[in-house]
Amino acid sequence: MTTPTAITAHYTGEERSKRIFAIVGASSGNLVEWFDFYVYAFCAIYFAPAFFPSDNPTVQLVNTAGVFAAGFLMRPIGGWIFGRLADKHGRKNSMLISILMMCFGSLLIACLPTYNSIGVWAPILLLFARLLQGLSVGGEYGTTATYMSEVALKGQRGFFASFQYVTLIGGQLLAVSLVVILQQFLSEDELRAYGWRIPFVVGACAALISLYLRRSLKETSSKEMRENKDAGSISALFRDHKAAFITVLGYTAGGSLIFYTFTTYMQKYLVNTAGMPAKTASYIMTGALFLYMCMQPLFGMLADKIGRRNSMLWFGALGTLCTVPILLSLKSVSSPFMAFVLITVALAIVSFYTSISGLVKAEMFPPEVRALGVGLAYAVANAIFGGSAEYVALSLKAVGMENSFYWYVTVMMAVAFLFSLRLPKQAKYLHHDL
């Protein structure tokens, strides 16, 4: 990782403007991808009866959750396919295909006939659309992280790379905000009849706008790199960069677990464990996620000052020491404000990682296998540890061992700290690429 004494490179005003536009273009697609991916979760309660007819609403939600999980499990495949595509045929081409696939998936869901119209084909086509979206979002992370790290201004790479998570969190916030707006203007029956389709149409249209922005991006990979016999090769990745892949996998496992613990699972935790009303929990999490989004550039700037390796070590150390106390305090908290403060503190700790996670991963691999290494390692760790966070937490709570989950997260944070010790003090790759 770059050292705290890294010198900021000098750029002309035109070059600086071009690179900033490239960051905006790349991150816009990231926002759209995550908006489309999470709209499904927020709208499921309304469209579940249309695809899974049952007298039991819980059965309907379980079925829609299963389709959501299937999309999650497609991420490693997406990380591999799009990582190879980005290394072999260019970052720009990979990002264009990724956003087109997400657009098609959203449009397909928006236009799907219901079970009453086409029978069992309705849930089958819904599953197909989610598999496409899972592939797309699985490939989006690695390619976008790679592109943004390669185009970011030297000496300010932490700051510019942080916008990947600004848009990731922003996509989630926009998704839930749109659903809340629809709830104000449409009745429950209207939302179930047709209102749930509107966010998917919005997502598809936004993807087309992002596609337009990405078409004008400059390719960061060279022709020589793309023609390298090892470009996008998974065998070359594990032959020559196995240690880097394992390191990235190690700290991403803890990073993904604690991220999903304090974002997607936390709302349920406040309701089921702390006993707060669902609406209050929603307000707390919306405010906390907004602050979390705003933190990313600040922690990215901090990493530019103290070094990426030091940021990762602070993340691992604070996560190990503070996870149990924060979750135990939240368990018995009665004040919504105190819950908000505790969750914000937890998300500040997570920000040491999320603000620079894509950049730290990108610096571990040479350009010919960079997108593949970043995307595949992230997707595997995310699918196993991030995707299972809520399931593990609820399962342990069901058998009366909820506190064990706190220690599970703590152990994984200690693992992240140990793997962060393996990070070099000076980046071996990327620092001299551009």
Please compute Rg for the chain using Cα positions.
21
Task: Identify the domain boundary among 181, 216, 251.
Answer: 216
Number of domains in the chain: 2
Task: Identify the domain boundary among 191, 216, 241.
Answer: 216
| Exposure string over 277-310, b if 16+ CB within 10 A, otherwise e | eeeebbebbbebbeebbebbbebbebbbebbbbb
Do 72 and 188 reside in the same domain of the chain?
yes
CB 315 within 8 A of CB 352: yes
Backbone conformation region of residue 293, classed left if phi is above 0, alpha if psi is from -120 to 50, else beta: alpha
Do 81 and 176 reside in the same domain of the chain?
yes
Do 155 and 268 reside in the same domain of the chain?
no
CB 307 within 8 A of CB 1: yes
**Per the structure block, which two tokens stand in for 289?**
């996620």
Do 245 and 194 reside in the same domain of the chain?
no
Do 178 and 304 reside in the same domain of the chain?
no
**Per the structure block, which two tokens stand in for 100?**
């087109």
pTM: 0.86
Do 255 and 202 reside in the same domain of the chain?
no
Calculate what percentage of the chain has a pLDDT beyond 70.
Answer: 93
For residue 421, give every residue at least 6 positions away whose Cβ sits within 8 Å of its Cβ, in sequence order, or none: 313
CB 317 within 8 A of CB 417: yes
Do 80 and 204 reside in the same domain of the chain?
yes
Q: What is the pLDDT of residues 277-297, one digit of tens each?
A: 878 888 898 899 999 999 999
Nearest to residue 312, comparing CAs of 215, 419, 220, 210? 419
Burial of 174 (0-12, 13-18, 19+ CB in 10 A): buried
Do 195 and 334 reside in the same domain of the chain?
no
Do 56 and 167 reside in the same domain of the chain?
yes
- With respect to residue 93, please indicate whether it lies within any of the assigned structural domains: yes
Nearest to residue 31, comparing CAs of 160, 173, 179, 158? 173
CB 172 within 8 A of CB 113: no
Nearest to residue 85, comparing CAs of 138, 23, 134? 138
Do 130 and 256 reside in the same domain of the chain?
no
pLDDT for res 415:
97
HEC readout, 306-342: HCHHHHHHHHHHHHHHHHHHHHHHHHCCCCHHHHHHH
- What CA–CA distance (Å, rounded) separates 161 from 224? 25
Task: Identify the domain boundary among 185, 216, 247.
Answer: 216
Do 74 and 98 reside in the same domain of the chain?
yes
Q: What is the pLDDT of residues 33-73, one digit of tens each?
A: 888 877 887 787 788 888 888 776 766 666 776 776 777 78
Identify the domain containing residue 357 by its residue range.
232-424
Q: What is the pLDDT of residues 154-194, one digit of tens each?
A: 778 889 889 889 998 999 899 888 888 898 899 989 998 99
Q: Residue 154's domain is classified under what CATH number?
A: 1.20.1250.20
Where does the pLDDT of residue 429 fall: very low under 50, low under 70, confident under 90, or very high at 90 and above? low
**Per the structure block, which two tokens stand in for 366?**
């040479």
- With respect to residue 358, please indicate whether it lies within any of the assigned structural domains: yes
Do 267 and 192 reside in the same domain of the chain?
no
